[in-house]
Amino acid sequence: MNHFGRLFQINIFGESHGKSVGILIDGVNPGIPLCEEDFSNDLLRRKSGGIGTTPRIEDDKIIIESGVFNGFTTGAPILLRFENNNTKSKDYSNLVSQPRPSHADYTAKLKYNGFNDYRGGGHFSGRLTLGLVSAGVIAKKILKDFKFNTKLINLNGEEDSSKFKNMLMDAVSEKDSLGGIISIRVDNVLKGLGEPYFDSLESTISHLLFSVGGVKGVEFGIGFDGVNLKGSSFNDVIIDHEGHTKTNNNGGINGGISNGNPIELKVFIKPTPSIGKSQETYNFKEEKVSELVINGRHDAAIILRAMVVCEACVAIALCDSYLINKAYRED
Amino acid sequence: MNHFGRLFQINIFGESHGKSVGILIDGVNPGIPLCEEDFSNDLLRRKSGGIGTTPRIEDDKIIIESGVFNGFTTGAPILLRFENNNTKSKDYSNLVSQPRPSHADYTAKLKYNGFNDYRGGGHFSGRLTLGLVSAGVIAKKILKDFKFNTKLINLNGEEDSSKFKNMLMDAVSEKDSLGGIISIRVDNVLKGLGEPYFDSLESTISHLLFSVGGVKGVEFGIGFDGVNLKGSSFNDVIIDHEGHTKTNNNGGINGGISNGNPIELKVFIKPTPSIGKSQETYNFKEEKVSELVINGRHDAAIILRAMVVCEACVAIALCDSYLINKAYRED
Amino acid sequence: MNHFGRLFQINIFGESHGKSVGILIDGVNPGIPLCEEDFSNDLLRRKSGGIGTTPRIEDDKIIIESGVFNGFTTGAPILLRFENNNTKSKDYSNLVSQPRPSHADYTAKLKYNGFNDYRGGGHFSGRLTLGLVSAGVIAKKILKDFKFNTKLINLNGEEDSSKFKNMLMDAVSEKDSLGGIISIRVDNVLKGLGEPYFDSLESTISHLLFSVGGVKGVEFGIGFDGVNLKGSSFNDVIIDHEGHTKTNNNGGINGGISNGNPIELKVFIKPTPSIGKSQETYNFKEEKVSELVINGRHDAAIILRAMVVCEACVAIALCDSYLINKAYRED
Amino acid sequence: MNHFGRLFQINIFGESHGKSVGILIDGVNPGIPLCEEDFSNDLLRRKSGGIGTTPRIEDDKIIIESGVFNGFTTGAPILLRFENNNTKSKDYSNLVSQPRPSHADYTAKLKYNGFNDYRGGGHFSGRLTLGLVSAGVIAKKILKDFKFNTKLINLNGEEDSSKFKNMLMDAVSEKDSLGGIISIRVDNVLKGLGEPYFDSLESTISHLLFSVGGVKGVEFGIGFDGVNLKGSSFNDVIIDHEGHTKTNNNGGINGGISNGNPIELKVFIKPTPSIGKSQETYNFKEEKVSELVINGRHDAAIILRAMVVCEACVAIALCDSYLINKAYRED
């Protein structure tokens, strides 16, 4: 459902072409300085990746509706809202008859008996990630010393980042799209975070990441590549009293609990499903396969925008674990 | 924490060398036939993979403590318990001074201020998966027509299954261990399961999978390999009125919701961390790196036992979504 | 915390003098007709009780921010928001030094280290009940045939309702306030609602009721008066095949589960703590007891407004149970 | 459902005549000394009230199945189990045809389609409170300095406790039963406990209390009697820097948050529904009203046993709030 977290609780809402989108956050400690500008940097990171699109710039203005007073969080729920001023009067009804492949068009219609707001993806729109990014900003404030480092390490099979720009230009001109792999590393993580059995750090982090549209794989540490190593090579041997390890194949997590080494993970984001290129897919009205051309401008690689979103997911999961951990620590 | 699920709720408990391990399941509909023998097959699948070990055969006897009457579920919580009769009087205290690399020994000690039951891994022991497998049996009963197909598709980099047996024998003689990749496919899945935003099927499935010790990667459909495809190739085009798709790169899930095609996913299990081979790792008592030899017999490839565990995780997540879906359907 | 419900989930937010107050509701089935006017009647019931006050009429305009499309619920979260246009620039800082007796002023300051928005009660303001009333409207739509009947049966010890008007007028002129007892009766309740052990109907109903400021007592059926009856008189004997009972001392609930007879309960609402009359109470700045006069106009009996709020609480609890019940019923 | 709590989580299970009853507790901090004897006193308080019955003495032996190692809690879930050795082979099938008035017999059958274990009340048996009492013992350990004082202040309308004994003897000889009112007072409560909006202390305390069979009314402070006071008399004026108040009509809670004064509440427990006296009630098999005589020995006043159960509920709710409060406090 649209609620996540035990103590740092987020509730997401909105549709792409409704009145607004946003997030309601409960469980933020009182006394944290917070204002609209605090969100600017991450909201900009989310927007700037829109190669191939005209981002809805004016819509990224955050409104703090509640939970902040005199520049500080109050301890009451924080409602962050983004108005959808710039919604085009475009006709989306063809996507109801002919759902976009790899998109939520078909499943949303099924699940909600056709009552879903299908315009621009509705509740499944990437625009919902504005709320996630904003919650991530607050989570990172609470996590003070934790350092997040998020990188695009693979674009459509290519790992040399100097080639990414040209690849993106080519994708735009081909009216196609590219997927990729994001790497996230968190340094200065407090030891002991994560709540076995079911709230292992890997569990809560992956839970949030897989909520984001387009995420189709998550791996920690060396991940799937570790299949080539035997135990004697895979094991991260501890080398000092602080628990530092020689390697970090486990990505800083053992038994679901942070071990003080950097948390490292990778996220696979599939290529943007909405492409300009013609596709042959089923038309439920015509009851046959026919050509689908999705008009308008499309993100050549949604992954560029997704980087800060994935980082936010990791921060939110860690923040919840951080608060839980405080509750169980001795006074 | 040790609780998961909205309507099909599981609560896991126990330690390897305590009195018992098991699971408490709430939210099982009344009227489902259930007896001890129903668990035999899956419990046997979990046990039989123990190459390199002497499985604690006598301990896998399930006790249904509550929630079943006259051979049917009553609707009250079902407590499933396994007694730990066969716990050896082995001395584990050396692992407190010198935690096993890649294991929860170090993080558990940290998190619980040294009060954790460290014998045999305690609450982090693979023995806890007895409960998961048992809950999976009930989930699969509720999911009636869903068909689960779980396979080992990669062992230590090798995909040819005919070679696995020899590889395992070699690992035993080398006192080393092997990781691998499990593939799970579910057919006949009801359409419309999964609850956006945060309870996407990928989210709840991965949440449970990453709770299992040793799981370090989860991917749906084509997964990370999909990075090589552009959108025009990745997209699963719909070919008929039932929503069947030509390819299944999305693994049967769009927007977090089942689309009626098979759910397909892969799970990476790292090599068993406990190996007989000597390792150099930090000794916190001696305050220096020194040799660690873990005595006893070890699983050469815990992945053999983990297959049915991972299948259970998928079934539990689907079962919870199935019940939620019923609640929101029109009467 | 500010979240309640398993399937019909509500999340409340806002402060009296912040930008807005409202409620975010998740778990509403798609396809329910819903528009702003649907809320008018109950919002009016909440407002009209404001004897002794000038209600902030213009602020009760509901904005449906999300979850409704083409006049029907979509299945996505419904954000209902009320803007606080009419907030006076009054100075509330004296209440920080000298908290109002029986109010949340003191405890809120304590709990939130002084960061709480104290203006007009902030997050503890009665204005928050706008959200509850609105969620109640939707709950009652889902509960279709259930009939709610809410009455004021006792005002300041008086049970003759013809005297209430004069009593209220007297209270206004005395600058004092009155408490009372509300009776709620629900007819046509589906049998079998309520989820033992901990989600008995009495538990979830009382949980919500006691969240409302001023509620200090809840009793079901005959309630505390039943102490005078022995078992042989208290027991509600069943008289027909439908489970009708001769008496309804249990208030339609046995073992936490609805038995098909009317659900009957009573709620005690204390007198409005904010009164115009002078009070002697501690001044934390002056560090001594001194006179407190709270300026402005006050509700002579908040209970008049609380009636529809309490009814909403009962409806929300029943709606959640109703959805859960559907999930566990046989197909 | 059978789960309660955010951080101090309890899960109750079992049936009166099944293999066992008990409770699974998650979220207990590591390092708390705990052994079987710690439960003796409260289990004895629960048992000794059984006037009119032969308590199943031998069944109150607690088994700590998990979560305790070397005499201390480990931080892992604690399973507390009580075996049902003493279940009589009595025939309960007549209660299926002719459900006991005021009992869960009828509603349980309805809700669970007749699959419920009806023997001795099954999952609705008072025997389930063994688990609650045990969880309360642990909660009170965590709450260290809080002092609980629980009294019977009214038995069948009589407030003079010196008459209670004779009243009970009379009830036994009349084969009837008595209800009453329990008062609970908690001193030395930490200020600032309780989580608005929905987890007010009154909400969580009443939620747990109303889960207990027989509880039909809960009031805080002066409770329903406060209806006779006007605001100027009801208000608890603060008299010193510590927040002490002259009166305690609010029962130590304002805005749902503890204010440092004693928490005071009252609980109404209806007369035991199972009585030896003949009752005329509907027989579903015979399809007419007929005489019901419930054989065996009955509790004349279950309230005597319920006192420690209600105290446990209050302790559990406070303990959960206490842990949450720690999480949000500044380091």
Q: With beta carbons less than 8 A apart as the criterion, state whether A11 and A24 touch.
A: yes
Is the pLDDT at D58 greater than 80? The verdict is no
Q: Find out whether C179 and C209 touch, Cβ atoms under 8 Å.
A: no
* D7 touches A: beta carbon within 8 Å: yes
Chain A / chain B CB contacts < 8 angstroms: 352
Say how far apart CA B185 and CA B200 lie, in whole Å.
17
Asked if the C-beta of C17 comes within 8 angstroms of chain A's C-beta atoms, the answer is no
**Cβ neighbours around C232 below 10 Å, total:** 19
Tokens of B327: 């609640």
Q: What angle do CA B192, B324, B194 make, to 5 degrees?
A: 35
Q: Are B263 and B201 in contact (CB under 8 A)?
A: yes
Closest residue in B to C322 (Cα) is B327
Sheet with B9-14, edge to edge strand ranges: B3-4, B9-14, B20-26, B78-83, B62-64
Q: Please report where in the chains the tokens 């049917």 appear, as a residue.
A: B72
Q: Write a three-state SS string for chain A.
A: CCEECCCCEEEEEECCCCCEEEEEEECCCCCCECCHHHHHHHHHHHHHCCCCCCCCHHHHCEEECCCEECCEECCCCEEEEEECCCCCCCCCCHHHHCCCCCCCHHHHHHHCCCCCCCHHHHHHCHHHHHHHHHHHHHHHHHCCCCEEEEEEEEECCECCHHHHHHHHHHHHHHCCCECEEEEEEEECCCCCCCECCCECHHHHHHHHHCCCCCEEEEEECCHHHHHHCEHHHHCCCECCCCCCECCCCCCCEECCEECCCCEEEEEEECCCCCCCCCEEEEECCCCEEEEECCCCCCCCCCHHHHHHHHHHHHHHHHHHHHHHHHHHCCC
Amino acid of residue C90: K
Going along chain A from its start, the domains and CATH numbers come out as 3-329 (3.60.150.10)
Decide: B325 and A1 in contact? Cβ < 8 Å.
no
Q: Is A66 on the interface with C (CB under 8 A)?
A: yes
* Pairwise CA distance, residues B124 & B107, whole Å: 11
Q: Please tell me the predicted confidence (pLDDT) of residue C93.
A: 76
- Contact C65/A3, CB-based, under 8 Å? no
How far does the CA of residue B65 sit from the closest CA of chain D (Å)? 5
Q: Is the pLDDT of residue D271 over 80?
A: yes
A31 touches chain D (CB under 8 A): yes
Q: Could you tell me if residue D175 is left (phi over 0), alpha (psi between -120 and 50 degrees) or otherwise beta? A: left
Nearest by Cα to A234 from B156, B247, D193: B156
C-alpha distance from residue B238 to each of A175, A280, C158, D213 (Å): 20, 8, 70, 55
User: In angstroms, rounded to a whole number, what is the distance separating the alpha carbons of residues C233 and D293?
Assistant: 15
* Residue in D1, D18, D111 closest to B66 by CB: D18
Neighbouring chains to D with at least 3 Cβ pairs closer than 8 Å: A, B, C
- Is the CB of residue D99 less than 8 Å away from at least one CB of chain B? no
Distance (Å, rounded) from C-alpha B244 to C-alpha B145?
18
Of B326, B330, B331, the CB nearest to C327: B326
- On chain C, the residues whose CB falls within 8 A of the CB of D164 are none
Q: Are A319 and A76 in contact (CB under 8 A)?
A: no
**Best CA proximity match to A65, nearest among C87, C81, C20, C23:** C20
Residue type, B319: C
Residue C87 contacts A where some CB pair is shorter than 8 Å: no
Long-range contacts made by residues B156-159, C-beta under 8 angstroms, separation at least 24? Answer: B156/A227, B156/A228, B156/A229, B156/A230, B156/B180, B156/B271, B157/A227, B157/A228
Alpha carbon B242 to chain centroid, angstroms: 32
Q: Which of A217-221, A293-297, C23-27, D222-226 is predicted least confidently?
A: A293-297
Whether the predicted pLDDT of C302 surpasses 90: yes
pLDDT band at residue D92, thresholds of 50, 70 and 90? confident
Instruction: Choose among B83, B304, B76: nearest CA to B178.
Output: B304
Q: Which among A21, A31, A77 has CB closest to C11?
A: A77
Q: Which chains neighbour B (Cβ–Cβ under 8 Å, 3 or more pairs)? A: A, C, D
How far is the first Cα of chain C from the last one, in angstroms, to the nearest whole number?
35
| Average pLDDT estimate for C233-238 | 97
**B82 has which bridge partners?**
B21, B62
The residue of chain A with its CA nearest to that of D321 is: A327
* Contact state of C227 with D197 under an 8 Å Cβ cutoff: no
| Subunits adjacent to chain C (3 or more Cβ pairs under 8 Å) | A, B, D
pLDDT digits over D162-178, tens only?
A: 999 999 999 999 999 99
Q: Which of A202, A243, A250 sits opposite B210 (nearest CB)?
A: A202
Given a contact cutoff of 8 angstroms between Cβ atoms, the answer to whether C39 and C308 are in contact is no
Q: Is B77 on the interface with D (CB under 8 A)?
A: yes
Kindly indicate the confidence band of residue D60, based on its pLDDT and cuts at 50, 70 and 90. confident
Instruction: Say how far apart CA B213 and CA B269 lie, in whole Å.
Output: 8
Sequence-distant (≥ 6) Cβ neighbours of residue B203 within 8 angstroms = A206, A207, A208, A210, A211, B256
Distance from CA of C8 to the nearest CA of A (A): 10
Which residue shows structure tokens 């009495």?
C202
> Which residue among A266, A273, A330 sits closest to B235, beta carbon to beta carbon?
A273
Cβ neighbourhood burial of C92 (10 Å; 0-12, 13-18, 19+): middle
Q: What does the alpha-carbon distance between residue A72 and residue C42 come to, in Å, rounded to a whole number? A: 35
pLDDT of residue A15: 97
Residue A222, chain B, CB below 8 Å: the answer is: yes
pLDDT for B60 equals 87
Nearest CA in chain D to A75: D328
In angstroms, the CA A253 to CA A256 distance is 6
Q: Which amino acid is present at C37?
A: E
C198 touches chain D (CB under 8 A): yes
B33 touches chain D (CB under 8 A): no
CA distance C197 to C200: 6
Pairwise CB contact (< 8 Å): B250 & A257: no
Q: Indicate the burial class of B330 (C-beta count within 10 angstroms; 0-12, 13-18, 19 or more).
A: exposed
Residues of chain C above pLDDT 90, percent: 89
Mean pLDDT of all residues belonging to chain C: 94
Q: Which residues of D264-285 are buried (b: 16+ CB within 10 A; e: fewer)?
A: bbbbbbbbbbbbbbebebbbbe
A6 vs D6, D31, D328: nearest CB: D6
pLDDT of residue C331: 60
Residues on chain A touching D7 (C-beta within 8 angstroms): 6-7, 324, 327-328
Count the alpha carbons within 13 Å of B236 in the hemisphere toward its beta carbon. 26
Candidate from D7, D27, D328 with C-beta closest to A29? D328
Q: Assign residue D207 a region: left if phi > 0, alpha if psi is -120 to 50, beta otherwise?
A: alpha
Choose among A245, A202, A197: nearest CA to A220.
A202
How far apart CA D98 and CA B127 sit, in angstroms, is 46
Interchain contact, C326 vs B331, CB within 8 Å? yes
* CB-based contact A111 C75, cutoff 8 Å: yes
* D99-103: average pLDDT: 95
Q: How many interchain CB pairs under 8 A, A with C? A: 154
Tokens standing for residue C297:
């106009």
Q: Do the Cβ atoms of C323 and B327 come within 8 Å?
A: yes
| Residue in chain D nearest A327 by alpha carbon | D327
A 134-173 → C contacts, CB under 8 A: none
Question: Any CB–CB contact under 8 A between C256 and chain D?
Answer: yes
**Contact status of D127 with chain B (Cβ, < 8 Å):** no
Yes or no, beta carbons of B14 and D72 under 8 Å apart: no
Q: Which one of D11, D74, D138, D324 would you mutate to disrupt binding with A, by most A Cβ within 10 Å of its Cβ? A: D324
Beta strands in chain C (DSSP E): 3-4, 9-14, 20-26, 62-64, 68-69, 72-73, 78-83, 147-155, 180-187, 215-220, 253-254, 257-258, 263-269, 279-283, 288-292
Q: How many cross-chain Cβ pairs, B to C, lie less than 8 Å apart?
A: 38
* pLDDT grade for D55, boundaries at 50, 70 and 90: low
**Chain A residues with CB inside 8 Å of B95's CB?**
none
- Return d(Cα B223, Cα B249) in angstroms, integer: 8
Q: How far apart are CA C306 and CA C274, in angstroms?
A: 15
pLDDT means over runs of 10, chain A (331 residues)? 97 96 97 97 88 67 97 98 80 85 96 95 95 98 97 98 96 96 98 97 98 98 98 97 97 98 98 95 95 88 96 98 91 60
Subunits that touch chain A (at least 3 Cβ pairs < 8 angstroms)? B, C, D
Per-residue pLDDT at A60: 87
Q: Does D227 touch chain C (CB under 8 A)?
A: yes
Taking phi over 0 as left and psi of -120 to 50 as alpha, with beta for the rest, D316 belongs to alpha
Here the ipTM equals 0.97
CB of B322 closer than 8 Å to CB of B134: no
Residue D303 Cα, gap to closest chain B Cα (Å):
25
Which parts of chain B register pLDDT below 70? 54-59, 86-89, 331
CB contact under 8 A, D18 and B69: yes
Q: How many CB atoms lie within 10 A of CB C167?
A: 18
Nearest to B18 among D27, D66, D72 (CB): D66
Nearest CA in chain C to A65: C19
Is D206 in the C-facing interface, judged by CB distances under 8 Å?
yes
Which residue, among A2, A175, A195, A198, would best test binding to B if mutated, counting the most B CBs under 10 Å from its CB? A198
Cβ A196 vs Cβ B123: under 8 Å: yes
Provide Rg for chain B, Cα atoms. Answer: 21
Nearest-CA distance C239 → chain B (Å): 27
- Taking alpha carbons only, the member of B296, B294, B301, B297 closest to residue B277 is B294
Rounded CA-CA distance D256/D206 in Å is: 12
Distance of residue D196 Cα from the nearest chain A Cα, in angstroms: 8
One DSSP character per residue, B106-129 reads HHHHHHTTT-S--GGGGGGSGGGH
B281 to chain D, any CB pair closer than 8 A? The answer is no
Helix A303-328 × helix A40-48 angle, to 10°: 140
Q: Is D255 exposed, middle or buried (0-12, 13-18, 19+ CB in 10 A)?
A: buried
The answer to whether A186 touches A227, Cβ cutoff 8 Å, is no
- Out of B196, B324, B331, closest to residue C327 by CB: B324
Pairing state between β A215-220 and B180-187: unpaired
Let me know: does B129 contact B56? Beta carbons within 8 Å: no
